[in-house]
Amino acid sequence: MNWTISNQSLDPQQLLVNESLFSLGNGYLGVRGNFEEGYPEGVPTIRGTYINAFHDLAAIHYGEKAFGYPEVRQKLMNLIDAQTIRLYLDDETQPFSLFSGDVVHFERTLDLQYGFSERLIQWHSPAGREIMIRFRRLVSFVRRELFAIEVTVEPVNFSGRLKIVSTVNGDVENFSDASDSRVASEDEAHLDVLSARNDGAVSLVTDQAHTSKRKVSCAASLNFSVPAETQLAVLPGSVETSATVALNGPVTVIKKTIYTDSLRHGQQTEQTAAALLRGLDHVPFSKLLEEQQTYLDRFWRLSDVRITGSPALQTGIRFNLYQLLQAAGRDSVSSIAAKGLSGEGYEGHYFWDTEIFMLPFFTLTQPELARGLLLFRYGLLDSARRRARVMGHRKGALFPWRTITGSECSAFFPAGTAQYHINADIAYSCVQYYLATGDDDFLARFGAEILFETARVWMETGHYLNGSFRVDGVTGPDEYTAIVDNNYYTNAMAKYNLYWAAKAAGNLKAADPGCYTRLSERLQLTDREPEEWAHAAKAMYLPYDPERGINPQDDTFLQKAVWNFAETPPGNYPLLLHYHPLTLYRYQVCKQADTVLAHFLLEDEQTLETMRRSFDYYEKVTTHDSSLSTCIFSIMAARLGDTGKAYDYFKTAARIDLDNTQGNTRDGLHLANIGGTWMAIVFGFAGVRIKENGLSLRPVLPSAWKGYAFRLVYHGRVLSVSVAGEQLELQLTEGSRLSFKLYDQPVELKSGQTAVFPLHR
């Protein structure tokens, strides 16, 4: 149960949301949940198909420009549209539409267990003909280039003819909304149609990005369950296939579509697409469904989270985990964009969200995918080195705040480039992956270099004053406060980065002197640098206010007036859309968790009471205008023993997209929040932590639930965690032996062993 989401709405605004909710993807290819037949004129739509990292370039225009401002932005492209299938009955001139005739029944479903979406329709045409229609579609997890649609039409009260018109359209453009800064970019970036033609029964369209010159090709074919009379037509920028069949009983048509791009497939994209499509000639849709199920069986075996006592939240968490899987890049040139492959919000860019909010799920359930996502960042090191030089650093690498291929795409530096913490976020995730997997090869070949190069930038960004190491002129996660000195989050994360860079240098030098020497020579790393990193980490200044007993967000945050929340109209949230940034910067008001996030990630830096007082203080001034926020407050509330408050925050986070609570799900799903909901269960309610001294758990049970269960992959072992009623059950389902801490007490499990413990309240 609770493996599907369903919707029957034809409300225009809900249709936009549903296009995101019912999107399908596989990390490479993403298709929004649009109707195959389209909508009538006047009904808004964001019709989209995307390939992860496929982008064009456009100039960034400034009224006033200074040195080092990015000049070019990268923008994910809406690609060739192969979704369109129109159905005509007998001599009726208007095709089937859910906005005409009489809709007797309509429901669409996304099946999270089997990996496809479905629409079931019973419809009377304007002329009184009644048909049953079933649309099923999938983006294959096994064949990354494949998008397939199966349409079955069955007559109810007549026999006649059915005309099917299938289109592959290369003349497409991106969506923009000038009223919303998150999707308001200019549209100079676009695709040019290079060719549109037929090769026998195959439709072929090739487009090229106007400036980046990257090519994408689409090959599509139709297969019918009954004899069909087919006509092919090449139109400006598109190819149309028309087929007429006898509709005396059920008729099924399968449309298979292959997408290839020059980034992965070389310049012969069209030939490659056609060849891949030919290889699918005799593969039935049922076989594709079987492949999806087999793939997802393996995924859910390790990744499923089971909640007993709340069907809505059970559906919500499974939907979220499924969307993470759909969004995660599986190759060296892609990662997870802020909206995944479900929409165009934030232009397909990768942020810190990936490492801090999404990577933990993969690290502890699908570590091979986590490794790949970290290797993507490693592949951007040279670009990050170039960015560091532009920003005045003689050594090291500075990762861009938002990017696709490595160059900085943020035009607003106070809330972009100034967020230097992205360097520490990536370093932190490398260490977390290493601690969770014991992957020495990763650390030696890739992770150490990331740690060294990011540490170097901190040494040049920070400085010593009165014996403490301080970091000035940066922006923390809270984008309602910018360009500050000693942002607590940034300093705490930089400390971790520096500490682990020094530790990794020592460990690598001892374990593999040759490897360390080669890396040192390539980076021109001096013998003194690791010592300097260790000293800076030890001397790092972490702001503390003795009067309040809290960690100030930065040096001046507590000196500002508190935002007047009482007189702020509800319609003025999010504040960023209604107030100038400088207005926000002058007040104590947080867009999202900042210091509270640092307390979660690095809880050993402060006492429990300091974290408790900080939580209480920042809770009063945080708007949660960012979707990244409530999940973190949930985790910290659980850590501080307030399970009820943790549950309330979790409920808000778990269904942000399903309930469109932030009002912008139309632009794509909130992937960071989606990852954060898994974190809220595993790191929050279950109290899981991965530290240098090992794995630990401190589970609690929200009073609204009867229980919950999940699995963790840790150092190649699989630990099953089940909380129910007053007890906790732990089982080592894979691996010979596992030692960890439970409620700060040592526990050891042997292979296959199950142990039951009383649940702490």
Contact in structure between 436 and 718 (CB atoms under 8 Å): no
Label residue 761 by pLDDT band (50, 70, 90).
Answer: confident
Query: Is the alpha carbon torsion for 244, 246, 247, 251 positive or negative?
Result: negative
Tell me the two tokens of residue 192.
């040019």
Can you tell me the distance from the alpha carbon of 351 to that of 60, in angstroms, rounded to the nearest whole number? 19
Q: Classify residue 91 as exposed, middle or buried by CB count within 10 Å of its CB (0-12, 13-18, 19+).
A: exposed
For residues 565-585, average pLDDT: 96
Strands 717-724 and 462-465, by their bridges, are unpaired
Q: What is the pLDDT of residues 727-739, one digit of tens each?
A: 999 999 999 999 9
* Strand ranges for 349-489 from DSSP E: 462-465, 468-471
Instruction: Count Cα neighbours of 113 within 13 Å in the Cβ-side half-sphere.
Output: 6
Q: What is the pLDDT of residues 56-80, one digit of tens each?
A: 999 999 999 999 999 999 999 999 9
For residue 303, pLDDT beyond 70: yes
For residue 418, pLDDT beyond 70: yes
Can you tell me the distance from the alpha carbon of 200 to that of 270, in angstroms, rounded to the nearest whole number? 14
Tell me the two tokens of residue 757.
């413990």
Q: What is the pLDDT of residues 686-726, one digit of tens each?
A: 999 999 999 999 999 999 999 999 999 999 999 999 999 99
* Strand ranges for 175-214 from DSSP E: 191-199, 202-209
* Alpha-carbon distances of 734 from 370, 582, 653, 713, 754, rounded to whole Å: 20, 54, 32, 9, 12
The predicted structure's pLDDT at residue 186 = 55
Which of 479, 531, 567, 619 is the catalytic position? 479
For residues 121-130, average pLDDT: 97
Q: What is the pLDDT of residues 264-274, one digit of tens each?
A: 999 999 999 99
Task: Give me the domains of the chain, ranges plus CATH numbers.
Answer: 4-59+70-272 (2.70.98.40)
Can you tell me the distance from the alpha carbon of 71 to that of 604, in angstroms, rounded to the nearest whole number? 41
Sequence-ordered alpha helix ranges (H) in 159-252? none
Biggest alpha carbon–alpha carbon distance for the chain: 89
Overall pTM surpassing 0.85 (yes/no):
yes
Query: Percent of the chain, pLDDT > 70?
Result: 99
For residues 172-190, average pLDDT: 69
The predicted structure's pLDDT at residue 184 = 53
Can you tell me the distance from the alpha carbon of 150 to that of 253, in angstroms, rounded to the nearest whole number? 6
The predicted structure's pLDDT at residue 321 = 98
- Please state, rounded to an integer, the average pLDDT across all residues of the chain: 96
For residues 647-661, average pLDDT: 95
Strands 707-714 and 717-724, by their bridges, are antiparallel
- SS3 for 585? helix
Q: Is 154 a catalytic residue?
A: no
* Alpha-carbon distances of 728 from 229, 305, 484, 701, rounded to whole Å: 64, 15, 45, 10
For residue 551, pLDDT beyond 80: yes
Residue type, 58: A
- SS3 for 236? coil
Q: What is the pLDDT of residues 96-116, one digit of tens each?
A: 999 999 999 999 999 999 999
Helix (H) or strand (E) holding 523: helix 513-523
Q: What is the pLDDT of residues 231-243, one digit of tens each?
A: 999 999 999 999 9
The predicted structure's pLDDT at residue 189 = 72
Contact in structure between 472 and 525 (CB atoms under 8 Å): no
Q: What is the pLDDT of residues 492-534, one digit of tens each?
A: 999 999 999 999 999 999 999 999 999 999 999 999 999 999 9
- Residue among 400, 340, 60, 383 nearest 211 (CA): 60
The count of residues in the chain is 761
Q: What is the pLDDT of residues 394-412, one digit of tens each?
A: 999 999 999 999 999 999 9
The predicted structure's pLDDT at residue 176 = 75
Can you tell me the distance from the alpha carbon of 334 to that of 318, in angstroms, rounded to the nearest whole number? 24
Residue 114 region by backbone torsions, left for phi larger than 0, else alpha for psi between -120 and 50, else beta = alpha
